[in-house]
Structure 1
């Protein structure tokens, strides 16, 4: 593709000349072009006006002119752009917050409805507690294969007929997997949502597991498992989880499943697991979009209110979690030039008061301006990729650092990452670092909740995790309240260099 592009734009020889010119660039060149082109006079700013404009052409033009006249003086510098965007992201959040209604169907199933009337579409998810958290080393991957196969044919329709029915609604199925729950989702124009709900019920209650559909789903999952083994990040994460939770704990199993297990599962195995996990006693329905709550409750009751749990369904029992004491390692060595590792410290579950400062720490460490990138990649050249993450679940939490680099530098890279965590313990962070991290979190959170599906999935995650329906608001309030002292306090509390788990995908193998 690169050669074809270069040949179409001046000849493939240009590629060599491009590399030569790139190597010749100096710091003075960078500053010169920045001063020449990155100016306020050259900048363009797009403002998105809400609510959506409506009315005839003259009315729309009048409102646009009024908005432009009210947009303030010209920008004096590029700094003004950042201030303006920050204001647009944060102003009026309470007034624009979508309304949430919580109802209960006649069979006890919870229904959560979030209204957002900007566009004439809606999203729906039917979620179930359980699934992966019930798997063992003998069944690792059965939930994903069962759900994927259930979408490939029912007692009423073949896979092809189901695809046509979905496409006729201008929609498509989705699947959402977490450690302790899973869900089937669908998005559609609002007038098609009742019919979409009917298709979801059909999949949930009448899946037929045709042999061809099961094999296609198996092929996709097996390919995903192979891709995960080839991914430094994904496989390091799997090794870490095994070290942190234990090889036999559901959380310690590979997220995509075990290849041998997925290959051995039969249709009868999937049918039994289907009856177990698609249990109405574990169900929650979430709807987000341009909807009327009463109308939604009526058609959801019609589709799902009469469902009852199977008599032989076992109760959902969550296994105990024991976090590591001391340093626990899982290492796999391969013949490769790169090593990658993910090390993590036990922290706190979702909703704990210390969760919010740990989120801020994540963004102090991560990103191209973050401490890990600046020190370990920029100054010490120990990493190709490096970042941090804060993971909080309803019953457990951990804070990790990930690094991939030359295998000969693995020991120094690990020491360097631990040194950065030690630095957080011993040295107060700057006010500017904390302020930038908080602004970034606020902006990203607002941006990532723009669509019905994003809002619906976040609402489902919060509700199923026991955080209620207003967790996003409380999350942003918690972030805003974080102080420099909070950051150092949680760093000292949780970044214990004698207590962590690490998964290492080691290169070399005798090189």
Structure 2
């Protein structure tokens, strides 16, 4: 069956850049002075703490309700809090979801809810009503079975899509290994844990953790303190005083010696590399400001050392960065990048070199000045936003900051010295106690990692330790690219049967972000192909290819295919590309046997195309194509399974659509030699 290549060109973006004009650099002006307005405060009997910042410059107001709940472990029901977030806010005990949302739209406002808080913003003339709506949605949510079931299904679909995402797997495994799966940051959601969650669990989660003990309401805008106080006391007085449960879990510990933790993902065209260690950096620590600057110099942006090394000097990646967490709870330091498979080992070496350099050699004065300027500039701009003022007020309370913490922010940044940067780099960038987590294609990468001199451990996609896999082995004597393709053709019905097919019509159904999608594809032996995606009662996208023309359409626009783009599309519009591949079998390289989705497969490669054929059944189980998009190499992999016979020919009835985030589609109807006319390709 023809591999699905619908709308591939829609993913390729053109990147342009304007020529830079050299101008004299302006002389720095005086250091800005920042005044952060202090809130007026009061505390209700139930424990709710309210902070009001009057700001009458604009006729707007924002409310932010935050419940400062300590992290907790969800265990076998991991995902209950995220489902609570998804369900809360869909109507209240007093008002239907539709009526509630209609009023918000009428007010031109924004009101949002989640498992640990709520927010509202809009014109100050509607301030009273906005607070009423936020209070009603927060304290009287309607937990309906219908919304719960829909949210759970969307979450499960998201997990299935993430299973094919190298970056998603890398993030999950990194946190699980660094913190442990019995830690709030390290545990992860699975389909099984979601299925363990019931609506009753969501209600209990809300009742247990949505409590006023550690709740803060920050109000910023064109309001008066006395009016807000009066309304808050009225709306929140019946919020029953209660304390949230306290979860106990082990404190994570860094490894005694740096090691490589590798996860094999055969569909990875790039390796996700992350060098990580835990940190306990509080905003009140004397190292805090120096640590910010050290991270900025190492990998805080395009001017960081990691970026300049891995991207600018070597061209291995689209970007390389570092981040340093801080706050009340244990966080992490990370330096990371996505690099081409063939340079994975070299990239690791450069990461380690940069970490060693900033720990052992003083940074330059120019680097220090640039990092300070960027931090100060960003800080000054952020202080102009009401949301920033609210977050400052909240953070000052929840993290016990000095009252003048943000007034002295610029002064403390300016006080950081070169020696400070080197000192904190040695404290928080633990070159000798890091996990180097790599998620990539083992057949291309694993053989090079042993040369780096670190212990190499292997894990599956769920952070479970595994024995070192056999990533690739040679094909048996006598097996060739031609024999592999011949076996596939024989397995699906034979060359004679395929040659008798004049047309194929396929209808398949899947979902993306909760939206049901129907894919219709029609092809003929004359080189005609039509594919369309429909959802929400409308045609989302369509592609038509014939021997004389081709186009794509969607959202009221139509794009004609021309030149090489049209030729490539016409070449891919073969009814059974297996027959064409058989004619050109000599152009494929049989690179050996690899494991793909748990099944051994012969791997055939040609140019930017790779095809996987099951060793056991002979059937094609996947095909991938490498392309360039936004300056990065992207591999689009389509997998096939659930082959069923239709008029003597076996065709896959389940496949993935890489261009829709790896969404899985199930075939509901296949017709051979019927249901297709020339009118379908107009």
Instruction: Compute the TM-score of the two structures, normalised by the length of structure 2.
Output: 0.59
SS in 2 for 1:460: helix
> Within 1, Cα distance between the matches of 2:261 and 2:408?
37
Give 1:314 shift: 5.3
C-alpha displacement of 1:216: 3.4
1:429 paired residue number: 363
Q: Deviations over 1:465-507 (max 9, x none)?
A: 3336654334433222111010011122333322123432222
Deviations 1:65-118 (A, max 9, x none): xxxxxxxxxxxx5422x746xx6xx53423xx3232222123332112223332
Q: Please give the secondary structure, in 2, of the residue aligned with 1:287.
A: strand
SS state of the match for residue 107, structure 1? coil
Distance in 2 between residues matched to 1:506 and 1:187, nearest whole Å: 43
SS at match of 1:325: coil
- Indicate if the aligned counterparts of 1:154 and 1:203 stay in contact, CA closer than 8 A: yes
Question: Which structure is higher in strand share?
Answer: 2
1:401-428 Cα shifts (integer Å, max 9, x gaps): 0111012222221121011000011111
Aligned to 1:246: 180
SS in 2 for 1:250: coil
Question: How many residues align structurally?
Answer: 435
For residues 93 and 315 of structure 1, do their structure 2 counterparts lie closer, same or farther at Cα, with a shift above 3 Å needed? same
Equivalence for 2:245? 315
| Contact 2:209-2:244 within 8 A present in 1 as well | no
Distance 1:474 1:231 in 2: 43
Residues 343 and 402 in structure 1, CA contact (< 8 A), matched pair in contact too: yes
Equivalent positions of 1:189-228 (< 5 A) are 189-222=123-156, 224-226=158-160
- Name the residue aligned to 1:392: 326
Q: 2: distance between equivalents of 1:173 and 1:244? A: 36
Match of 1:358 among 291, 299, 305: 291
Name the structure 1 match of 2:64: 125
Equivalent residue, structure 2, for 1:167: 105
Q: SS of 1:103's equivalent? A: strand
Q: CA deviation at 1:221?
A: 3.7
Structure 1 partner of 2:207: 275
Contact conserved, 2:74 with 2:80, CA < 8 A, in 1?
no
Alpha carbons of 1:288 and 1:467: their partners in 2 closer, same or farther (altered >3 Å)? same
The answer on whether the counterparts of 1:348 and 1:355 sit within 8 Å (CA) in structure 2 is no
Query: Matched residue of 1:253: which SS?
Result: coil
Matched, 1:79 2:16: no
Which secondary structure state, in structure 2, belongs to the residue aligned with residue 79 of structure 1?
coil
Q: Deviations over 1:317-351 (max 9, x none)?
A: 45342322323655321112110122123333222
CA spacing shift, 1:119–1:166, aligned 2, 3 Å: same
The aligned counterpart of 1:324 is 254
4+ long deviations beyond 6 Å:
1-4
Partner of residue 93 from structure 1, selected from 25, 31, 34:
34
Structure-2 residue corresponding to 1:266: 198
Matched residue of 2:406: which SS?
A: helix
Out of 402-411 and 112-121, give the one that drifted further: 112-121
The answer to whether the 8 Å contact 1:243/1:252 transfers is yes
- Other structure's SS at 2:320 match: strand
Q: Which residue of 452, 455, 463 corresponds with 2:386?
A: 452
Match of 2:375 among 441, 452, 468: 441
| CA apart distance, 1:245 | 0.9
Cα distance change on mapping 1:208 and 1:357 into 2, 3 Å: same
* Alpha-carbon shift at residue 125 of structure 1 (Å): 1.4
Give CA-to-partner distance per residue, 1:245-287, whole Å, 9 cap, x none.
1111111123xx4343234422111111111111122321111
Matched, 1:149 2:87: yes
Note if contact 1:407-1:508 (Cα within 8 Å) is conserved in structure 2. no
The match for 2:280 is 348
Structure 1 pair 184–330 and aligned structure 2 pair: CA distance change class (3 A): farther
- Partner of 1:295 in structure 2? 227
**Per-residue deviation, 1:399:** 1.9
Which of 331, 335, 346 aligns to 1:401? It is 335
How big is the alpha-carbon RMSD for the aligned residues of Structure 1 and Structure 2?
3.1
TM superposition score normalised by structure 1: 0.77
Structure 2 counterpart of 1:498: 432
Cα distance in 2, alignment partners of residues 191 and 469 from structure 1? 31
Q: What is the distance in 1 between the residues matched to 2:111 and 2:162?
A: 23
**Structure 1 pair 141/469, CA: closer, same or farther in 2 (3 Å)?**
farther
Mapped to 2, the partners of 1:238 and 1:463 lie a distance apart of 31
Q: Deviations over 1:440-465 (max 9, x none)?
A: 01111222343323432453344333
SS class of match (1:166): helix
- Stretches of structure 2 that go unaligned for 5 or more consecutive residues are 1-6, 444-470, 473-682
- Matched residue, 1:286: 218
Match of 1:158 among 59, 81, 96: 96
Is the helix fraction higher in 1 or 2?
1
Equivalent residue, structure 2, for 1:134: 72
1:104 has 2:43 as partner: yes
Larger Rg: 2
Residues 361-403 of structure 1 show CA distances to partners (whole Å, capped at 9, x for unaligned) of 1211222222111112222333332101111121324321011
Q: Work out the CA distance in 1 between the residues paired with 2:136 and 2:366.
A: 54
Tell me, yes or no, if the aligned pair for 1:360 and 1:434 is still in contact at 8 Å.
Answer: yes
Distance 2:437 2:296 in 1: 22
Distance 2:173 2:434 in 1: 13
Change (3 A) 1:218 1:476: farther
For residues 452 and 236 of structure 1, the distance between their equivalents in structure 2, rounded to whole angstroms, comes to 35
Distance 2:353 2:377 in 1: 30
Of 500-509 and 268-277, deviating more is: 500-509
Question: Would you say the 8 A contact 1:99–1:115 is kept in 2?
Answer: no
Report the CA distance between 1:291 and its aligned residue.
2.2
Structure 2 contact 272–438 (Cα < 8 Å) conserved = yes
